[in-house]
């Protein structure tokens, strides 16, 4: 990637080569409003995180609930059995009972957190600075007594008094913590202040590794993480799809891809990101926004005629990186902004070739339609109208059908289901287990309409396979 001052940026490549990814989807991610993973879902997510090469998995806070405890214990057991390689981290308050619970799970590391800003000390803990230092030192030492690695998280570090924060980190380090996480708890750091912040702390309190835990309240988490690594952080906390308290933390997929694009460093197996994205979207019930960078439905969907023409000539004109890097593909929107090159490319993809005069008439008809999205079926209808040719087979008879739908591992089941439910004639869409992902019930007055609906379903972005069954008889109650 060549940009202005890219040579200046490249000097930080060694920092990004050695940075570790800590995924906190199972702990921070489950703190997303409305999210609650089952134990089996957590085990499956942990295996997939390990499969792509995440360095550390924060498996949960065992003292929160029995199922959280059991999930952490079983993930730690998977590590001992050699099923996963990532370091397993158990979260804990600076309380002995929490630490005892975390130790019982036999996780590799116990991560103790305590608020260190005056806001947290006064409003939440109701402790003086000196009392807090005593608690931090005592609890880190207590956890270390279990013979495990210990991380201390300085909660709200980005709003703490800097000199006091130095005392906090020294206390944790001297008590046995080999890692200290500096949390930007309400997301107020910027890339520049994050870099300066970590440069200062690394110099002021050496001989300890620093993590960045950046929240996304102002939309700065990813950029803040970059600044922190440039300043000396050696681990970045992330979650799949950016889940977490309020608006979440650094999205794993965005951080990993950004590091690859800017430094050509592949921290995790990028080809596995979309399958993980889809898995967590399904289990969390939180759909990825269409316009989310890298993983959203619109990330490689091009609309304006000038853009599509550029993409058809050279995808680099409007793409920072090729979608194939993460196992995705590009597509084009057909609507009033569309140019003739996009229409021609889409028709050819559908196996339809027309001459230039017909192409221009089709384009004029599209622009008059003023539809937000033109489906493949609607485009074919316009092409048939303009050309006067039948471009699909005809059929007759009344019919009702059920369609089993297989969704691409790079697509989002919830998003595909939502789009299917908007098709006229589709009466019901259900997510199912087994070889297929969705079950669609269709009612049509005849085979012609059914075939039109089926063409729309099969041509929908994100669908890789269907199996259709015609309903012969129905037993009504």
Active-site residue set: 307
For residue 125, say whether it is annotated as part of any ligand binding site. Answer: no
For residue 400, say whether it is annotated as part of any ligand binding site. Answer: no
Residue 166 CA to residue 102 CA, distance in Å, equals 27
Angle (deg, nearest 10), helices 376-387 and 356-369: 120
Tokens, residue 51:
């499969």
For residue 215, say whether it is annotated as part of any ligand binding site. Answer: yes
Tokens, residue 9:
């940026």
**How big, in percent rounded to 5, are the helix, strand and coil portions of the chain?**
45, 20, 35
What residues contact 423, with CB distance under 8 A and at least 6 apart?
453, 456, 457
Residue 354 CA to residue 370 CA, distance in Å, equals 22
Q: DSSP code of 4?
A: T
Q: Name the H helices within 145-251.
A: 162-175, 191-204, 221-231
For residue 28, say whether it is annotated as part of any ligand binding site. Answer: yes
Do 399 and 444 meet the contact criterion of CB atoms below 8 Å apart? yes
H or E segment at 403? Answer: strand 399-407
Q: DSSP code of 112?
A: E
For residue 200, say whether it is annotated as part of any ligand binding site. Answer: no
Do 424 and 444 meet the contact criterion of CB atoms below 8 Å apart? no
Q: What is the 3-state secondary structure (H, E, C) of 75-107?
A: HHHHHHCCCCCCEEEEEEECCHHHHHHHHHCCC
Q: What is the residue whose two structure tokens read 């116990």?
A: 110
Binding residues: 27-28, 91, 151, 185, 213, 215
Binding residues for 2-oxoglutarate: 27, 91, 151, 185
Binding residues for Mg(2+): 28, 213, 215
């Amino acid at each position: 990637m060549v940009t202005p001052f890219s040579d200046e940026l490249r000097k930080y490549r060694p920092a990004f080569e050695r940075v570790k990814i800590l995924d906190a989807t199972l702990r921070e991610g489950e703190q997303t409003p409305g999210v609650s993973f089952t134990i089996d879902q957590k085990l499956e997510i942990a295996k997939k995180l390990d499969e792509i090469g995440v360095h550390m998995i924060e498996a949960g806070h065992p003292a929160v609930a029995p199922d959280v405890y059991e999930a952490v214990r079983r993930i730690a057991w998977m590590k001992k059995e050699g099923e996963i390689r990532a370091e397993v981290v158990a979260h804990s308050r600076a309380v002995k009972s929490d630490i005892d619970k975390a130790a019982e799970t036999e996780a590799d590391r116990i991560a103790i957190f305590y608020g260190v800003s005056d806001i947290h000390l006064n409003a939440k803990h109701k402790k003086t600075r000196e009392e807090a230092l005593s608690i931090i030192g005592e609890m880190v030492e207590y956890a270390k007594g279990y013979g495990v690695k210990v991380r201390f998280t300085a909660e709200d570090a980005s709003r703490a008094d800097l000199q006091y924060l130095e005392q906090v980190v020294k206390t944790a380090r001297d008590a046995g913590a080999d890692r200290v996480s500096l949390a930007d708890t309400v997301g107020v750091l910027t890339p520049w202040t994050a870099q300066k912040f970590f440069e200062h702390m690394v110099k002021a309190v050496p001989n300890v590794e620093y993590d960045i835990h950046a929240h996304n309240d102002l939309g700065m988490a990813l950029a803040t993480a970059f600044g922190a690594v440039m300043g000396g952080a050696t681990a970045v906390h992330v979650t799949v799809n950016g889940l977490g308290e309020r608006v979440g933390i650094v999205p794993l997929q965005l951080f990993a891809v950004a590091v690859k694009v800017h430094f050509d460093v592949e921290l995790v197996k990028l080809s596995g990101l979309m399958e993980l994205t889809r898995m967590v979207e399904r289990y969390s019930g939180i759909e990825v926004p269409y316009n989310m960078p890298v993983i959203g439905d619109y990330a490689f969907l091009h609309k304006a005629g000038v853009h599509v023409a550029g993409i058809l000539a050279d995808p680099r004109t409007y793409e920072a990186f090729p979608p194939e890097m993460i196992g995705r593909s590009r597509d084009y929107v057909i609507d009033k902004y569309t140019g003739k090159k996009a229409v021609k490319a889409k028709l050819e993809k559908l196996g339809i070739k027309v001459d230039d005069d017909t192409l221009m008439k089709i384009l004029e008809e599209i622009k008059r339609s003023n539809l937000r999205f033109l489906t493949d079926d609607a485009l074919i209808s316009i092409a048939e109208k303009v050309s006067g040719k039948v471009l699909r087979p005809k059929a007759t008879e009344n019919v009702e059908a059920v369609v089993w739908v297989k969704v691409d591992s790079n697509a989002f089941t919830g998003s595909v289901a939502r789009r299917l439910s908007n098709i006229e004639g589709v009466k019901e869409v259900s997510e199912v287990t087994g070889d297929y992902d969705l079950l669609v019930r269709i009612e049509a007055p005849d085979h012609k309409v059914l075939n039109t609906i089926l063409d729309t379903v099969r041509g929908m972005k994100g669908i890789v396979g269907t199996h259709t069954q015609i309903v012969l008889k129905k037993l009504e109650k």
